[in-house]
Chain A
Amino acid sequence: MTLNNVWVYAEANGDKVTTATLEVITKAREIGTTVSAVYAGTSGDSVAAQVGEYGATTLYVINPGEGLPGQVAAAGIAQLVNEHSPDAVLFVQSYDGRDAMARTSVKLDRPVLTNGFTLTAADGLTFGTAIFGGMVMVDAKYADGGVALIGIRPKSFTAEPSGGGAASVVTVDGFDAGRAGEAKVLERFEEEQTGPKLEEAAVVVSGGRGIGASESYKPLVEELAKALKGAFGASRAIVDAGWVPYALQVGQTGKTVKPKVYIALGISGATQHLVGMKNSDNIIAVNKDGEAPIFGIADLGIVGDVNKVVPALIEAIKNKA
C-alpha cells in the first residue's frame, strides 16, 4: 500500500536544494504515488528543476520576503493542506524545517512526529525514531486520520534521482503569516569554510575534550582532516567550552554524519555523541583510556595520547601524498 499524495518542505541554500531535502523527496517517492514540494524563497525555477529530478511533480513557491523562511512558510503550508489534503507533509529536522513544522502543527492543530529516521507505508504510515540517545527504537503511527506531519533527521535515507523533469511551479498567495513574518533577517554572515561540508565529506575527523586545549584543535583535528581531504567536527564538550562553533557539533543535538571513515580524537563516546556518527561505514578512535565507550563501536581503536599519535599520523599521510 502506498499513500496518494506526499509533500515535502524543500529547503535550499541560495539556489541549491539541500541534500537532506533530496533524501526526503527520494523517500517520499517510495511511499507516495505523487510527490509535491513546498519551498519558501526566491529561487523557485532552480529549485523546481532540482526537486523534479528527484521525483516531485509540483513545486509550491512561497515568497517569505525578509522573514525567516520556515516561519512564513507555515501559513502557506497550512492553507495548502486545507485546500489539497495531502496524506503527509515531511520536513527535514533542520533549523528552518523545525520552524516550519512547529508552526504548521499549531495552525492545523495536528501533532508533529519529530526526529524520524524510518518511514514505511506498507501497513499505514509508520514512523520510526530513536530515544535514549539512539539506544532504543520506537515505531509510532497517528491514532486518527488526517494529515501526518513528520520531521526526518538528515542522513536517514539516500538521495537518488528519478530523472524527472522540472516540477511545475505554483505560486502560493493569499495567506497571512501574521506576526510570524515580523522576525526579519537583517544580515547574513557566512563563516569562511574550507574543505568539504561536515554532512557530505567522505572522511570526518572530530575532536573532543581529550585534545586538551582550544589551541590544539587546529594542529590536530583540522590538519588531519585536511590531510585526508575531509571535514572536521567536534563533541559537544568542546562546543560548550567555546573552543569551536556549534555548527561543528556531531551528535544528538548537533549534526548527523555518515562518512566512509569517522575518526574520533579524544572523544569518550557518550551515547549522545554516538547517535550522530555510529552509522558511519568505518570508525577509528584514538583515546588514552582503554575503557572509553568509543572503543565499543570502533573498527580500529588506538589506546594512546592524541598529542603523540596524531602528529605522527599527519606526517605519515603527508609523506604518502
Chain B
Amino acid sequence: MHVVVCVKQIPDPAVPGALNADHTLKREGKPILDESDSYGVEMALQLVDAAGGGEVTLISMAANGETAGLRTALAMGAAKAVLVSDPACAGSDALGTAKALAKAVERAGGVDLVLAATESSDGYTGTVPAQIAELLGWPALTFAKKVDIADGKVTIQRQTEAGYDTVQASLPALVSVTAGVVEPRYPSFKGIMAAKNKPVDICTAADLGLDGQVGWAGARQTITNVENAPARQAGEKFEDDGTGFEKVVGFLENLKVI
C-alpha cells in the first residue's frame, strides 16, 4: 500500500507571528513539522504496517527548499518526500497550495490513500484536504478520529457536532485526520540518522505545469487593512484565602445568573 501524507513546515508556533511588508507571513528561523501533521504521519505508518507492507511518501510545498520539518517526518519512518519548492509559491492561498499538492500526489504515483491534517496550525483555512480530493477527483473522508483499511475500502469515524458518523469509500481516497487520532512516535536516533539520506524529490511549479496558479498571482485577493485586535481590559483579581468562591458567587448574583 502506498500512502501519501501532506505535511507542512511552519514557523515555530511558540514564537509570536509577524507579517512582512507585503503581508506574507514572516518565515524566519528553522521551520518545524506542523504538529497537526505528525498525527497523519503516524497514522500512515500504522496503516502500512497493518496492511503488511508498503510505503509512506511525504508531500509538501515551500518557497525556498526548506526540508527541516520534512526530515522530522522522514525520521519517524516515512520513506521519501516530494517537495514542491519554488519562490513562486510564496503567498499561495489554500487553492494554490492544493493545486501544487495534488500535482505532487500524481508525481508520487500509484497512491492508494492521501492523509492530511484537518487544518494547518498557522494558516488554518481548513479547506486544503477536500480541495486536493476534488482536484484528484477522489472521495474525501474528512475530520476522521479513527481510520481503518480493509478490502480496498477505507472506513473512518467522522467527527460531528453530536458524536460521529461512520463513513466509508473505496480507495484511492483522501482522509483528513483530527489531532489526537493516534499517538505520534518520537523519531529514534537511528531514524534521525537514516532520514538524512532519504530521497527528497524537489520540483518547481513549472515542473508541475502550475505557472501563474500558485503564489500571490493565484490568490487573487488584496489585503486592504491590517490592525491589532482591540485588547480586552482585565478586571479584578483576588488571591484565594478560602473565600475566593464567595467572590464568584457575588459576581454571578450580580449578573442574575444565580
A residues near B (Cβ < 8 Å) are 13, 68, 71, 74, 93-95, 98-99, 101-103, 105-107, 109-115, 126, 130-132, 134-144, 151, 178-191, 193, 202-203, 228, 236, 239-240, 242, 246-247, 252-253, 260-261, 263, 278, 282-284, 286, 290, 295-305, 308-310, 312-313, 316-317, 320-321
Contacts and interface: CB of A to CB of B under 8 A. Distances in A.
Interface stretch (B48-56, B103-111, B245-253): B245-253
Interface string B113-157: 000001101001111111101110111111101000000000101
B229 A136 contact: yes
Contacts of A304: 239-240, 244
Interface string B204-221: 000000000000001111
A141 B224 contact: yes
A112 B127 contact: yes
B93 A184 contact: no
Contact of B221 (A137, A141, A290): A141
Contact of A112 (B94, B163, B179): B94
Contact of A138 (B130, B223, B234, B258): B223
A140 B223 contact: yes
Contact of B93 (A111, A180, A236): A111
Given A260-B255, A309-B240, 17 more contacts: A68-B167, A105-B95, A105-B127, A111-B94, A111-B221, A137-B226, A138-B226, A139-B224, A143-B222, A179-B137, A189-B164, A247-B163, A261-B257, A282-B255, A296-B232, A300-B237, A313-B245
Contacts, number: 269
Given A13-B161, A187-B166, A313-B249, A303 B239 contact: yes
Q: Chain B: interface secondary structure?
A: mixed
A114 B17 contact: no
A190 B162 CA distance: 5
A183 B232 contact: no
Interface residues of B, number: 82
A203 B249 contact: no
A114 B220 CA distance: 14
B173 interface: yes
B227 A132 contact: no
B248 A302 contact: yes
Interface string B176-206: 0011100000000000000000000000000
A113 to B, nearest CB: 7
B169 interface: yes
Contacts of A183: 139-141, 167-169, 173
Contacts of B252: 228, 261, 317
B29 interface: no
Nearest to A18: B161
A286 B168 CA distance: 44
What 9 A-B pairs come out closest when comparing CB atoms?
Answer: A304-B240, A102-B130, A299-B235, A301-B237, A102-B127, A106-B134, A313-B245, A139-B225, A183-B139
Contacts of A316: 245-246, 249
23 contacts: A68-B140, A94-B161, A102-B94, A105-B131, A111-B220, A132-B16, A144-B220, A187-B165, A188-B160, A261-B252, A278-B232, A290-B237, A298-B234, A299-B251, A300-B237, A300-B251, A302-B244, A302-B245, A303-B237, A303-B244, A308-B242, A316-B249, A320-B249
B221 A143 contact: yes
Given A99-B140, A111-B220, A183-B139, A303 B240 contact: yes
B22 interface: no
Contact of A246 (B126, B133, B145, B239): B145
Contacts of B126: 93, 98, 114-115
Contacts of B251: 282, 284, 299-300
B133 to A, nearest CB: 7
B134 A107 contact: yes
Contacts of A189: 157, 163-166
For B94, B236, B242, B252, which residue has the most chain A Cβ atoms within 10 angstroms? B252
A13 B161 CA distance: 9
Contact of A111 (B19, B133, B219): B219
A114 B162 CA distance: 23
B169 A184 contact: yes
Nearest to A296: B234
A236 B119 CA distance: 15
Contacts of B224: 126, 139-141
A299 to B, nearest CB: 4
Given A136-B229, A183-B173, A301 B220 contact: no
B106 to A, nearest CB: 15
A114 to B, nearest CB: 4
